[in-house]
A and B are shown apart, each in its own frame.
Chain A
Amino acid sequence: MHSIIKIGTILAVTSMVACKGGNGSLGIGVTPSPTLNTVALTVDSGPMSATGAINHAYVTVKVCAPGKTQCANIDHVLLDTGSVGLRLVRSVLTAGAVTLSAQMDAQGRAIEECLSLVGGQTWGPVALADVTLAGEVAAKLPVQIMDDTAVGAPPPATCGANGTLINAVSGFDANGVLGVGVFAQDCGSACVSPAAPLPIYYGCTTAGVCTAENAVLAVQVANPVAMFTADNNGIVVNLPNLQNANGDATVQGELIFGIATQTDNALPATGLTVLGTDASGDFTATYNGGTAALPALIDSGTDAYAFNDPTIPVCPAATSGIFGGYYCPTVAPQSVFAVNTGVGANNASNRVDFAIADPHTFVATAAAFTGLAGGGGSTRFTWGMPFFYGRKVYVGIEQRVAGTYTGPYFAY
């Protein structure tokens, strides 16, 4: 909130300068203002066609066919610091009257992608789009179209078999996913050169026959922020603390582009924990004094703190409704902690204490909950959305420099 007010001030100052010149439009031209680098970030119950979302943070993204005026503002695109690339549901693009064409490989086949989200896969073509967020533009950005209407080639047998395909708005409670993680491309070098291509990128004939193939970095679905002409070294996610322990209906925050590029995304002089990641994008976390260094992520795409603690009871599906499977502590709130440690040069170590709430206390109409946890059986540690409330979280892109730090890293 603080920074939103700051932006308001900057804009006010700009217009005051403009007024001094005696002519608004001329004045703005004379005094170049920094690129508007902030969009509203909203936690609410989701898009009209799929409400009931919990701990989902959304932005509105302007998508245009490359070089065209054919554009749509797509609301309720899920902010995901745990993935890379913009993925849009095809029926939403169609409703917005935006038609994007698939990129073609050297053999003239349409390039399509199967992305595994653990709980299922997305499938659809990789197309180019001009993408605008605030004043920042990523021109000819490779994005994935999630083919919920099945107008493109059908997925190969290994992608989305037996009902695990997730392409629709209802699968995400979102019209798309804005992946702004620590990498510039989604797959990277692993999809560029292996003799046997990974089952991620495919070339599809017009007859709909798809074969796994390698994809050079320039073709791969890319982090929009990395493709901006400015403020392209990372992001800052700024969300306030929640007002109510039993849930808030909406939360208003901001997504800021760039790190240490403007006054609104400056790095704090003290108190910052910078956690470098490995080649997979993970730092490590040890949970509650344990010895296992678990691969860890700060992930706005996950709705809860997600980790394995077999000592905490799991909410029974029969009596817990939508919270079946999450943790239901015997005595809530239950205090636990984890120690994060960075990898490589940014090897800070930092203990984070947090409390697990009993989801039965949550108000049914709310969309934002702190203290939501789950993830039994996981061999990972995921700082999901509850971690973001009341913090500024920085996500630094690989090989990009901000102040004295070089990505990839998460910081807070």
Chain B
Amino acid sequence: MLQNRRMIFRSVKRALLLLTVGISPLWVGSAHAALGGDSASVLADGAELHGVVNSVISQQYDIQEITADTGMRVREYVNRDGVVFAVSWAGPAPPDLQRLLGAHYMEYTTALAALRHPGLQRSVRVASPELIVESGGHLRAYAGRAFLPALVPAGVSAADLL
């Protein structure tokens, strides 16, 4: 998927990226709220997952990809205003959605509670004008994404956000 787009790919260890961007680790430790937050929150998420952060830069947005030795992978999509407008995930366990969805987590859980059968489902979709969350999978293989339609750069389709 990534190879299909014209992107510059650079891979840096989290510590190196911290150095490059010039953020002190202490400050990173207190950052949170990825979706709708700024790119600094990505680094905090990387630390939380004990993962390595890679950056993929395309014309309209950057992807910060966190991978961990557990097999967890989180991508956070940052628009040109520096705002995380989408997140996606895949791995043997779901990520901490409270952390990834940030201020939008309550909206997500309220919508979930309204579903008739919250029990055994392998996929759920929560959609409002402000927030779309698609989550699916089962033990050993979870995947999903969430995005803020209003902040998605023009010309970028939902299918690009995987």
Identify the A interface with B (CB < 8 A).
78, 80, 82-84, 115-120, 157-158, 161-164, 166, 171-174, 177, 183, 186-188, 190-191, 194-200, 279-282, 295, 297, 299, 301-303, 306, 322, 324-325, 375-380, 382
Contacts and interface: CB of A to CB of B under 8 A. Distances in A.
A46 to B, nearest CB: 11
B92 A190 contact: yes
Contact of B139 (A115, A197, A303): A115
Given A161-B109, A164-B113, 14 more contacts: A164-B112, A172-B120, A190-B92, A196-B70, A197-B70, A198-B72, A198-B92, A198-B93, A281-B140, A306-B122, A325-B115, A379-B136, A379-B143, A380-B136
Given A161-B98, A195-B50, A198-B93, A117 B136 contact: no
A183 B142 CA distance: 16
B127 interface: yes
B141 A195 contact: no
Nearest to A157: B98
B121 A302 contact: yes
B102 interface: no
Contacts of B137: 118, 295, 380
A382 B50 contact: no
B143 to A, nearest CB: 6
A80 B120 contact: yes
B124 A119 contact: yes
B25 interface: no
Given A187-B139, A380-B137, A306 B98 contact: no
A171 B134 CA distance: 20
Contacts of B118: 119-120, 164, 166, 171
A281 B137 CA distance: 10
Contact of B140 (A163, A190, A199, A302): A190
Given A83-B139, A196-B50, A377-B125, A172 B119 contact: yes
B116 A322 contact: yes
Nearest to A326: B116
A281 B141 contact: yes
Contact of A116 (B70, B94, B132): B94
Interface of A is mostly: loop
Contacts of A83: 120, 138-139
A117 B120 contact: yes
B135 interface: yes
B130 interface: no
A382 B120 CA distance: 12
28 contacts: A82-B120, A82-B122, A83-B139, A116-B94, A116-B139, A116-B142, A117-B121, A118-B94, A119-B112, A120-B118, A158-B99, A163-B109, A164-B118, A183-B140, A190-B71, A195-B50, A198-B93, A199-B93, A200-B139, A282-B141, A303-B117, A306-B122, A375-B125, A378-B125, A379-B123, A380-B123, A382-B122, A382-B123
Contacts of B141: 280-282, 295
B122 A299 contact: yes
Contacts of B134: 377-379
B140 A188 contact: yes
Nearest to B50: A196
A240 B69 CA distance: 45
Contacts of A183: 140
Contacts of B94: 116, 118
- Give 7 closest A-B pairs by Cβ, nearest first: A280-B141, A377-B125, A378-B123, A196-B50, A301-B120, A162-B109, A190-B92
A325 B116 contact: yes
A228 B25 CA distance: 52
A322 B116 CA distance: 7
A293 B139 CA distance: 20
Nearest to A158: B96
B17 interface: no
Interface string B47-73: 001100000000000000000111110
With a 10 A CB-CB cut-off, give which of A83, A84, A162, A188 has the most chain B CB atoms.
A162
B99 to A, nearest CB: 8
A194 B68 CA distance: 9
Contacts of B71: 190, 194
Given A120-B118, A279-B140, A200 B93 contact: yes
B131 to A, nearest CB: 13
B118 to A, nearest CB: 4
A161 B141 CA distance: 21
B123 A162 contact: no
Nearest to A299: B122
Interface string B88-112: 0000111010110000011001001
A292 to B, nearest CB: 10
Contacts of B116: 322, 324-325
Contacts of B109: 161-164
B94 to A, nearest CB: 5
B136 A118 contact: yes
B1 to A, nearest CB: 11
Nearest to B68: A196
